[in-house]
Amino acid sequence: MSTKDSRFNRVAARVGLNTDDVWPSVVRERLLAYGLLLLYVIVIWFPIYYIFITSLKTQSEVLTIPITFVPQEPTAQNYIDIFRNRPFEAYTINSLIVASTTTVICVTLGTMTGYTFSRHNFLGNKALLLSIVAARMIPPIALIVPFFQIMSSPPLIGGLTGNLTDTRVALILTYTFFNLPFAVWIMKNYFDGVPRSLDEQAKVDGCSTWEAFVKIVLPVAKPGIAATAILAFIFSWNEFIFALVLTRSEASQTLPIAVSLFVADDFVDWSHLAAGGMIAALPGILFGLFFQRYIVSGLTQGAVKE
Amino acid sequence: METTEKSLRRTLDRLFVPLTVGPTLIWIAAIIVYPTVRLLWSSLFWMNPLTRETEFVGLRNFKRLLLDPSGTLGVLNPSFIAFTKNTIIYVGCSVTFSFLLGLGIALLLNKDLKGRGWFRTAVIVPWILPYVMSGLMWRWMFEAKNGAINGLLVQTGLISEKIAFLSDGTLAMMTLIIADIWVFTPFIVIILLAGLQNVPEQLYDAAEVDGASRWSRFRNVTYPFLKPSILVALTIRIIFDIRALDLVWVMTKGGPGKSTEVWASWLYRTSMEFQRTGEGAALGVIMLAVTFAIVAILYSIFGGTPYDS
């Protein structure tokens, strides 16, 4: 870590600055880190800024040349239009119902199963856990054919449900495919970090296994549950491929599909697309700003090895 | 009364494991195992799209995908070669660049800076947005006539003619890769940042005292502890990129021509647009096999723990 021959100093010397005593190396490193991070953040946020201002521009301004990087007459008209002229209300409701139902199912099952994997040795638990991890590696896209066939005529329950394509139920069932193994895995890792003495003490105090789990351990596991719920919600909210395969009409189409519908073969309605895109991106941005800690911990828990 | 309640509680306790694991297993069997078995099954059949009648054809679907249509022995199907090449370029470039970038950002964020949390949030957001929106956003950025990139380049005088990014095969692939890097770098940052927390501070201090160079500190102190995280980040990135259709579909639809057609879009087109479900399923089986092979290879390269004895 000699500071004499650092590139910064060489450059500084060339322009006749003597920075040796003014800038200790630690400060210089910090400034450099700040500079690089700031540059990176500006570069990656520029497209988000640009799609945002596109959503506030009039249609004519979107097509004017030279391009404006600040909207000349910002308007909310695009947002009003998509809710008035297109069934965006239905799309938003579909997205909300599908994402929240999937989240509830995955968090409930994932929490129970994750806890048992963490605490109990039962027959074949290693093999089961391994297969749950392996299930996460299956490329969902490889399964569009079977899922399409299954949802068109569901086996066993088909007599009750009939054809499930173009229903929210089909999307909910399909989305548990990505999220349930993930939820089990995150929760198991989370419970592994909760001391066993907690449940044992509860049982000594006369709690049943169920009571120890529900009353004592669950409250402690709230952060893990929050992380699982947020990730499951985001994954379901953003999913596109299966929605593309399994939906036909506004009865079940979700926001990602709605946004892609603005693209026609020869023409894209950019200002309205941008408004729709901002609506679709809203939960993600809000979650990112307020629950970043949970997203990070959930992803990390979900990715760690043994 | 007392006794029945007690016995009920005892019964419930005895059934704790089956009651907590059972529903999940049944669910997974229905929604993961069954479709996967059905995929293997479908890949051996040909289905008439009109009458929905199926016919057992053995490995013919695989032959059609992999081998030259003329049936010459040992010659691969040119489409298969082309789309595989596109997939390798797309996945290879995206993963390499987003990994290097993510590593750099993670190392910067690992420093003890004020406002680190704020930076972390700002860095993570692209990954949380719907991929469809990100894809269309980049398509808008790179648009030939009114796109922001052309606008910036022309209005600052860097280029005189606007570039039609999405009408040229190579450039279209480049825009796809840029969008992919933009979307997935945050994921790498999160995973590696978590790994960097495992490096003991004292080791850094010791290395500093020894006067180790920056590179040697990374090589000998950081890297061994970061290895498991690198393995996880690379594995997940690669298998996710092979399957990723969202960006390709909304940005280029595999075009112009077939220059950005990757396995995922080929599979979707075969199954859904051409209704050749047997071949689509066969391609799905190939993808599944390749995914598991890649995971196995990565684990054999990076497997093991820091300072394995």
| Residue in B closest to A132 by C-alpha | B28
Nearest chain A CA: its distance from B72 CA (Å):
28
* Region A295-301 average pLDDT: 85
- pLDDT, tens digit, 9 for 90 and up, residues B148-179: 999 889 888 888 888 989 999 999 999 999 99
Nearest beta carbon to residue B31 from set A1, A34, A176: A176
Whole-angstrom Cα distance, residue B136 to residue A258? 12
Which residue among A115, A146, A289 places its CB closest to the CB of B42?
A146
Q: What average pLDDT does the segment A115-129 reach?
A: 87
Q: Can you say whether residue B254 is alpha, beta or left, with left for phi > 0 and alpha for psi between -120 and 50 degrees?
A: left
State mean pLDDT over A60-71. Answer: 82
Q: Is the pLDDT of residue B304 over 90?
A: no
A292 has a pLDDT exceeding 80: yes
Enumerate helices (H) and strands (E) in chain B, giving the number of each.
Answer: 15, 2
Any idea which of A8-17, A163-172, A217-226, B259-268 has the lowest mean pLDDT? A8-17
pLDDT digits (tens, 9 = 90+) for A254-263: 999 999 999 8
Residues of B in contact with A140 (CB under 8 A): 243
- CA of B130: how far to CAs of A93, A141, B103, in Å? 17, 17, 24
pLDDT over 70 percentage in chain B: 96
Mean pLDDT of B257-284: 93
**Interface touch A109/B24, C-beta < 8 Å:** yes
Measured between alpha carbons, how far is A63 from A52 in angstroms, rounded to an integer? 16
Instruction: Record the tokens describing residue B140, joined without a space.
Output: 């808008």
Residues 232-251 of B with CB under 8 A from A: 232-233, 236, 239, 242-243, 245-246, 249-250
A128, B21: Cβ pair inside 8 Å? yes
Decide if pLDDT at A21 tops 60.
no
Give the gap in angstroms from C-alpha B163 to the nearest C-alpha of chain A: 15
Q: What is the pLDDT of residue A306?
A: 37
Average pLDDT for B20-29: 92
Chain B interface test: which of A4, A34, A37, A217 (most B C-beta within 10 Å): A37
Of the segments A1-10, A111-120, A294-303, B300-309, which one has the largest average pLDDT value? Answer: A111-120
Please, what is the angle between helix B277-302 and helix A144-152, to 10°? 130
pLDDT at B197: 85
Q: Which residue of B has its CA nearest to A156?
A: B30
| pLDDT range class, residue B309, cuts 50, 70, 90 | very low
Cross-chain Cβ contact B111/A117 below 8 Å: no
Distance in Å, alpha carbon of A205 to nearest chain B alpha carbon: 15
Band of residue A266 on the pLDDT scale cut at 50, 70, 90: confident
Q: How far does B73 lie from chain A, in Å, by closest CA?
A: 27
A21 CB neighbour count, 10 Å cutoff? 6
| Per-residue pLDDT at A91 exceeds 70 | yes
The model's confidence at residue B227, banded by pLDDT at 50, 70 and 90, is confident
A15, pLDDT greater than 70: no
CB atoms within 10 A of CB B98: 24
pLDDT digits (tens, 9 = 90+) for A223-256: 999 999 999 999 999 999 999 999 999 999 999 9
Q: What mean pLDDT comes out for the span B130-140?
A: 94
Reading the block at residue A278, the tokens are 């901002």
**Cβ–Cβ of B284/A145 closer than 8 Å?**
yes
- A48, A2, A17: which is closest to A289 by C-alpha? A48
B194 pLDDT exceeds 50?
yes
Whether pLDDT at A5 is above 70: no
CA distance A296 to chain B (A): 6
Mean pLDDT of B277-286: 94
